[in-house]
Amino acid sequence: MQITTTVNGTEVTRDVEPRLLLVHFLRDTLGLTGTHWGCDTSNCGTCVVLMDGEPVKSCTVLAAMTEGHEVRTVEGLATGGTLDPVQQGFMEEHGLQCGFCTPGMMLTARALLDRSPDPDETEIREAISGQICRCTGYATIVRSVRWAAEHPAEAAASDIKAAEEVPA
């Protein structure tokens, strides 16, 4: 079947198998490998992307379900060569260690900050509660999100323009 969706600000049309998962569409069809594939059971949250601004676990969404919707991956966070405050916060506050959960954490944080620009620690922990990090103990992730909340003007926070082009 043919689908047309917007990924990181670029409209793409592709032929896909109806049962193709979004995580595989992004990684294998579009070459956007920033979205990680972890447990394949929706437990770990490493595959989180934004669909119409809301975090979704891309291992539980069919690519066909994105028809007519906007999908944003970690590749779409930076705009015009400028890091999103969430990305900058993860650098400033050392919010990652191995980096496997980081793309999903960053997108969840972006959605939280778009909805609640000044979240407290409890709100941040609740927002990321659906994602597993086996390295950090979450303290640095929470500090990273707080940093981003305190520095919203450091980058174009919610602009969905692509930092990298989606392959044609």
The residue type of 133 is C
pTM given for the model: 0.88
Partners of 3 in beta bridges: 14
Write out the chain in H/E/C secondary structure.
CEEEEEECCEEEEEECCCCCEHHHHHHHHCCCCCCCCCCCCCCCCCCEEEECCEEEECCCCEHHHHCCCEEECHHHCCECCECCHHHHHHHHCCCCCCCCCHHHHHHHHHHHHHHCCCCCHHHHHHHCCCCCCCCCCCHHHHHHHHHHHHCHHHCCCCCCCCCCCCCC
154 falls in which pLDDT band (50, 70, 90)?
A: low
pLDDT digits (tens, 9 = 90+) for 13-62: 999 999 999 999 999 999 999 999 988 788 899 999 999 999 999 999 99
Q: In this predicted structure, what is the pLDDT of residue 166? A: 57
Tokens 């919707």 belong to which residue?
69
Which residue bears the tokens 């979704």?
56
Average pLDDT, the chain: 91
Domains, the chain, with CATH or none: 2-76 (3.10.20.30), 85-154 (1.10.150.120)
- Residue 60's CB is within 10 A of a number of other CB atoms, namely 14
